[in-house]
A and B are shown apart, each in its own frame.
Chain A
């Protein structure tokens, strides 16, 4: 897309330099640690799965036992390898032994642990790689996708009902299906198991639910002549475990923000930043497109005032994602259409912010979120706001368009609400197809001035965050007016200082050969 805002490139470069300093500081501070969730993820990647008689996942049992035995700081893979080398007849048996606190205590490190665990590492990498190739093959067998990708949400709480709704949405034209998680799943320190039929405000993210929905969308592919992307939420206390499950079941997109859990779910900053790194490494290898969550700043605070914070957070998310091995095409940066519709020239501000994001991150797919804050229950005005949202989305070349529901703020969408949203977006997308190529913005007009002002604000904010470091900035409440201390928040007890010999064979493999290099 031709740049239209005449944004000063030096300023954009300075923002990126600040973001780099922020990310380096995060890496330096978090590198000495691992987390219980990261180690459970290593176990899942090695093939540890299932639950015990009390419905507690085996990865949790093993990590808890290793923790108690004071052995987690060495890395969970070391102990699976040691158990295998000492005679365990497979990963299930190794996990079963390690889940027993007495056995976890008595097991000593085996000199050939690495050789013993290596076939499991390779099997996981092969499974992730073949899923990625399969996605590329399927996408390649159809005509190029029409943009922005229309993204619909299902949230019935019952995976089987979700499938009914997802099929209806996909047939109507949805290109991405996100299964919203049950409320509060982000605060569970384990991943539920199996197919689930009761959730609140959404459906539990489980590996079996992923598999069921993936199979349903694949079944639809020949009928509708399109590949439908499956989306879930790689966030909360089990962030990297969800990434592993998604990589195994060929999900295509993951909500995966570096700061969201800290700010909006009060999860400990160290826990989140360590987990985001490992989850993003998995997503990088799996060829998954991540979506960041900057839209959330706008739903809790004023969209005009918060625009610089959104942009600053996008720069930070971009840098942390690149450092974890994601490539620009995988970094779906989030923002939202949340300006008060009664504000004079509000739409011009929306256009300015959306166009600026497009120009500043030209290689990244932008995830554009619909109005929610100013949806009042007046469904007629709501439908009109959504129309302006689609118009702005198409006119500024957004990539992933989350469909707004006219009944937002009233109830979880009806089948008809979703159809109306898809119909509206498809009609408008075609109706204004080449508008972006036709319009220019007046030099020093409202749009151009607003975009410049937001960029300047972002630079100031990034400069101050780079000076204090991200942890102090979070403690000072720089983002969304919310203060989060290093020592506070949920899941702090799950942060573990590594020993010098710590090993995570997956990280080591991806450090040797960044995922992007293979495609």
Chain B
């Protein structure tokens, strides 16, 4: 197909040619390495929509398990025009811009609480967003003059978080979920929404979830205003908070 005739709305993976559909996948089958296992891997790839599967690695990783790397051509395509623009996206702004906008729009510091909930003992996510050092060369919220950023750390009980939110008249709560085994994060995240609603606080603040297994759609489904996945920089979160808190607190904006 000529470059001009390419339908940019309907796409397949790109290997080295337009819409060749080339993909690389890896998975482990609970089978000892054998010809049968190899054939099983090809058939499994076929069911994933991969045509002409080419097994480049069939490695016994344990007596009863074989690890496969398979290349092939994916038959499926997606219609990009049917995808709504990501709601979690806010215009990109520098830290200085965000600070200046907060000063201009609110004339006060916005109170932002952050933590990991209940049994989750991991601070890596919340620290990346809050600590002055930040993440990937991008400064954390504690370095912003516009935010009164309070990192409550890990293992914060939902009840305590709600109490602190009330006492500090928080503008936003950021929750990081690192431990996701048995879907425990879903339970804790939902508990928080339930309790904020029961306490009549839910609409008064912006609620954001982040974590390795989180995205915007899941966060929305759980009753959050936004969700941020791995690799999110503090600046993206800061820009989102600025816009979302502004939207909520429209009346508070300075003349």
Q: Which residue of B lies closest to A198 (CB)?
A: B182
Q: Tell me which residues from 198 to 220 in chain B have a Cβ below 8 Å from any Cβ of chain A.
A: 212-213
B62 CB-CB contact with A under 8 Å: yes
B65 touches A168 (CB 8 A): yes
| Shortest distance between the CB of A406 and any CB in chain B (Å) | 11
A370 to chain B minimum Cβ distance, whole angstroms, is: 14
Task: Report B84-138 residues with CB < 8 Å from chain A CB.
Answer: 118-124, 127, 131, 133, 136
Partner of A200, one of B59, B153, B182: B182
Whether B184 sits at the interface, judged by CB under 8 Å, is yes
Please, which residues of chain B bring their CB within 8 A of the CB of A412?
181
CB–CB A419/B179 < 8 A: no
A387 touches B (CB below 8 Å): no
A200–B179 touching, CB < 8 Å: yes
Query: Is residue A157 contacting chain B, with contact meaning CB distance below 8 A?
Result: yes
B138 to chain A, nearest CB (A): 13
Nearest chain-A residue to B178 (Cβ)?
A201
B59 contacts across to A, CB distance below 8 A: 419
**Could you tell me the distance in whole angstroms from the C-beta of B40 to the nearest C-beta in chain A?**
16
CB under 8 Å from chain A, chain B span 140-183: 153, 155, 179-182
By a CB distance below 8 angstroms, the chain B residues around A200 are 119, 179, 181-182, 184
Interface residue from B67, B123, B155, B180 paired with A184 (Cβ < 8 Å): B155
Measured CA separation A346–B127 after assembly (Å): 22
- Chain A interface size band reads 20 to 34
B230 touches A410 (CB 8 A): yes
Give chain B's interface secondary structure class. Answer: loop
B251 at interface, CB cutoff 8 A: no
Q: Is B133 within 8 A of A376, CB to CB?
A: no
Minimal Cβ-Cβ distance residue in A for B213:
A411
Q: Which of B121, B131, B231 has the most chain A CB atoms closer than 10 A to its own CB?
A: B121
| Contact (A171, B63) CB under 8 Å given A186-B121, A416-B26 | yes
Q: Which of A17-25, A122-130, A298-306 contacts B (4 or more CB under 8 A)?
A: A298-306
Task: State A414–B27 Cα separation when bound (angstroms).
Answer: 10
Residues of A close to B65: CB separation below 8 A:
168, 415
Q: Considering only CB atoms, which chain A residue lies closest to B180 in the complex?
A: A411
A172 with B62: CB separation less than 8 A: yes
Distance to closest chain A CB from B152 (angstroms): 11
Check if B9 is an interface residue, CB within 8 A of chain A: no
Does B61 belong to the interface (CB within 8 Å)? yes
Q: Which of A157, A302, A377 contacts B133 (CB 8 A)?
A: A302
Asked if A359 is at the interface of the complex by the 8 Å CB criterion, the answer is no
Q: Cβ of B62 and Cβ of A167 under 8 Å apart? A: yes
B28 at the binding interface (Cβ < 8 Å): yes
Least CB separation from B67: chain A residue: A416
Closest residue of chain A to B137 (Cβ to Cβ) is A342
Min CB–CB distance B60 → chain A (angstroms): 9
Q: Find the A residue at minimum CB distance from B61.
A: A419
Q: Give complex CA distance A198, B119 in Å.
A: 13
Determine which of B61, B119, B153, B182 lies in contact with A416 in the assembled complex, contact meaning CB atoms within 8 Å. B61
Minimum CB distance partner of B132 in chain A:
A481
Q: Which of B28, B59, B119, B153 has the most CB of A within 10 A?
A: B119
* Interface membership of A108, Cβ < 8 A: no
Is there contact, CB below 8 Å, between B230 and A201?
Answer: no
Q: Map CB proximity to B onto A198-214 as digits: 1 under 8 Å, 0 otherwise.
A: 11110000000000000
Judge if A373 is at the interface, Cβ distance under 8 Å. Answer: yes
Using A184-B155, A198-B182, A409-B230 as known contacts, say yes or no to A416 and B127 having CB atoms under 8 A apart: no
Contacting residues of chain B (24-49) with chain A, CB-CB under 8 angstroms:
26-28
Known: A414-B28, A416-B61. A183 touches B120 (CB 8 A): yes
Residues of chain A with a CB closer than 8 A to B231's CB: 376-377
Measured between beta carbons, the chain A residues less than 8 angstroms from B136 are: 376
What is the predominant secondary structure among interface residues of chain A facing chain B?
A: loop
Cβ distance A344 to chain B, nearest Cβ, rounded Å: 14
In whole Å, how far is B46's beta carbon from the nearest beta carbon of chain A? Answer: 21
Question: Do residues A376 and B230 form an inter-chain contact, with CB atoms below 8 A?
Answer: yes
Q: Contact partner of B119 among A183, A372, A414, CB < 8 A?
A: A183
Q: Are B119 and A184 in touch, CB under 8 angstroms?
A: yes
A365-407, CB under 8 A of B: which get 1 and which 0? 0000000110011000000000000000000000000000000
Q: Is the CB of B230 within 8 A of A377?
A: yes
A415 touches B230 (CB 8 A): no
Q: From known contacts A200-B184, A416-B28, infer whether A373 and B124 are also in contact, taking CB-CB under 8 Å.
A: yes
Which chain A residues in 174-230 approach chain B with CB under 8 Å?
A: 182-184, 186-187, 198-201
Candidates A157, A377, A409; contact of B181 at CB < 8 Å: A157
Given contacts A373-B124, A377-B230, contact A415 B182 (CB under 8 A): no
Q: Whole-angstrom distance between the alpha carbons of A102 and B188 in the complex?
A: 41
Nearest CB on B from A445, distance (A): 27
> Cα distance A476–B184 when bound, in Å?
36
Is there an interface contact between A409 and B212, defined as CB atoms closer than 8 Å? Answer: yes
Bound CA–CA A182/B26 (angstroms):
28
Q: Which residues of B contact A409 (CB under 8 A)?
A: 124, 212, 230
Interface pair B182/A157, CB less than 8 Å apart: yes
Q: A302–B128 Cα gap in the complex (Å)?
A: 12
Q: How far, in whole Å, are A300 and B131 apart by their CA atoms in the complex? A: 9
Q: What are the residues of chain A within 8 A of B230 when measuring CB–CB?
A: 376-377, 409-410
Q: Given A183-B121, A200-B184, decide whether A171 and B62 contact each other with a Cβ distance below 8 A.
A: yes
Q: In chain B between 11 and 25, which residues have their CB closer than 8 angstroms to a CB of chain A?
A: none
Kindly identify which residue among A184, A419, A420 contacts B121, using a CB–CB cutoff of 8 Å: A184
Contact B67 A300, beta carbon cutoff 8 Å: no
User: Smallest distance from the beta carbon of B215 to chain A beta carbons, Å?
Assistant: 13
Neighbouring B residues of A182 by C-beta, 8 Å: 119
Q: Which residues of chain B are within 8 angstroms of A411 by Cβ–Cβ distance?
A: 180, 212-213
Tell me the smallest distance from the CB of B114 to a CB of chain A, in Å: 14
B contact residues around A373 at 8 Å (CB): 124
Query: Which has the most chain B C-beta neighbours within 10 Å: A157, A200, A266, A409?
Result: A200
Report the separation of the CA atoms of residues A314 and B111 in the bound assembly, to the nearest whole angstrom.
38
**Distance in Å from the Cβ of B14 to the closest Cβ of chain A?**
18
A202, closest chain B residue (CB): B181
Interchain residue pairs with CB less than 8 A apart (18): A157-B181, A168-B61, A171-B62, A172-B62, A182-B119, A183-B119, A183-B120, A184-B118, A184-B121, A187-B155, A198-B182, A200-B182, A200-B184, A201-B181, A265-B121, A266-B153, A300-B127, A420-B67
Additional A-B contacts beyond A198-B182, A372-B124, A409-B124 (16; CB < 8 A): A182-B119, A200-B179, A201-B179, A201-B181, A266-B153, A300-B123, A301-B133, A376-B230, A376-B231, A377-B212, A377-B231, A410-B230, A412-B181, A414-B28, A419-B61, A420-B67
A residues at B contact (CB < 8 Å) = 157, 167-168, 171-172, 182-184, 186-187, 198-201, 265-266, 299-302, 372-373, 376-377, 409-412, 414-416, 419-420
The 7 residue pairs across chains A and B that have the minimum distance between CB atoms: A168-B62, A419-B61, A201-B179, A184-B119, A416-B67, A377-B230, A183-B121
Residues of B within 8 A of A (CB): 26-28, 59, 61-63, 65, 67, 118-124, 127, 131, 133, 136, 153, 155, 179-182, 184, 212-213, 230-231
